[in-house]
Chain A
Amino acid sequence: MIGIQGSGFGFRSRLRAILALLGVVWLAAGALASAIEPYPFESEVQRKRFQALAEELRCTVCQNQSLADSDAPLASDLRDEVFRMLSDGRSDMEIRSFMVERYGNYVLYRPPVVGHTLLLWGGPLVLLLVGLVAAVFVIRKRRKAL
């Protein structure tokens, strides 16, 4: 009886310790995230727009990172520029085309649907169709065999 009670208490305190630890980790992660972007945002909406833009614009120096991830000096310059344009009241479209005019479609993690990106956007759909057709064939054949 005592033993069971003791272990029950132990489980609870362990759970509490784990929760406390998670809390610390969460706070630390929050502090890290805000340390990267110390911009004086006017509103929560503006902060979210900034975050979204920085995540979908590619850092051209460190090519597999977004502007939001990168510590490169150029990425920080470009983030400043994005923030400046947001503060000027420019739209997301305008900010994206500002970057494309200078660095090409390459800076977009979601490239527009144009001639040479058709394979990129349509490829998965084509593969799905091929797979479906193959599946139909195989199923029909097995039915016949039965």
Chain B
Amino acid sequence: MIRMLIPLAVFLALVGLLIAGLQTAENRKLVQSPLIGKPLPGFSLPGLHDPDTMTGRDDLIGEPFILNVWGSWCWACRAEHPFIERLGREAPIELIGFNWKDERSDALRWLEQFGDAWDRHLVDYEGKVAIDLGVYGAPETFLVDHEGVIRHKHIGPVDANVFQDLMRRAMALNSEAGS
């Protein structure tokens, strides 16, 4: 009797593994960033509206902020744009755009067409700083605290649920900075 149950047990174990694998399949596509809890890497990038002004890591430290990676070529950035606009209006901290591998004229036209909800934009035309940030696809949204430490990263477009989560985290970072 027990002998006959062994193949059944093996079969059930395999089914269990399959179900577990299917349920985590979505999450496995997302690359967990090893940069969470680490300080923002150093950089010096021009602005989008003001290409002659360079902004470095040290210019941003002191206040927490949201860093949103986007490009005019990025289809999903269009999808998340309404929520990014809400973040720009409602979040208590600065919302900085990270314009990634984009042509300046395309980026400016995109903002004109869809609305510019960000407080300012940094431009990474070459994509070198993006590599230091572990960016692997747009859109990505980072939360950085007032000490310049990366505290959270969302990969993929922001939807209603992610928006709530980001708002909650932004408020927490804001009160942390104030205390």
- The answer to whether A and B interact is yes
Binding site for B on A (CB under 8 A): 60-61, 63, 73-74, 77-78, 81, 100-104, 106-107
A88–B9 alpha-carbon span in the complex (Å): 56
Contacts A60-B136, A61-B137, A77-B131 given; does A101 touch B29 at CB 8 Å: no
Contacting pair B34 A101 (CB below 8 A)? yes
When the two chains form their complex, are residues B127 and A77 in contact, meaning their CB atoms are under 8 A apart?
yes
Is the CB–CB distance between B31 and A106 below 8 Å?
yes
Known A73-B101, A73-B127, A74-B127; contact A104-B34, beta-carbon cutoff 8 A: yes
Question: Interface centre among B31, B126, B127, by most A CB within 10 Å?
Answer: B31
Instruction: Count B-side interface residues using an 8 Å CB cutoff.
Output: 17
CB pairs A–B below 8 angstroms (20 shown)? A60-B31, A61-B136, A73-B101, A73-B127, A74-B137, A77-B127, A77-B128, A77-B130, A78-B131, A81-B131, A102-B34, A102-B35, A102-B132, A102-B133, A103-B33, A103-B134, A104-B31, A104-B32, A104-B33, A106-B32
Is B29's CB under 8 angstroms from A102's CB? no
Given A61-B136, A73-B101, A74-B136: A100 and B34 interface contact (C-beta under 8 Å): yes
Q: How far is the CA of A61 from the CA of B137 in the complex (A)?
A: 6
Q: Tell me if A63 and B29 are in contact (CB < 8 A).
A: yes
**C-alpha spacing A61/B132, complex, angstroms:** 16
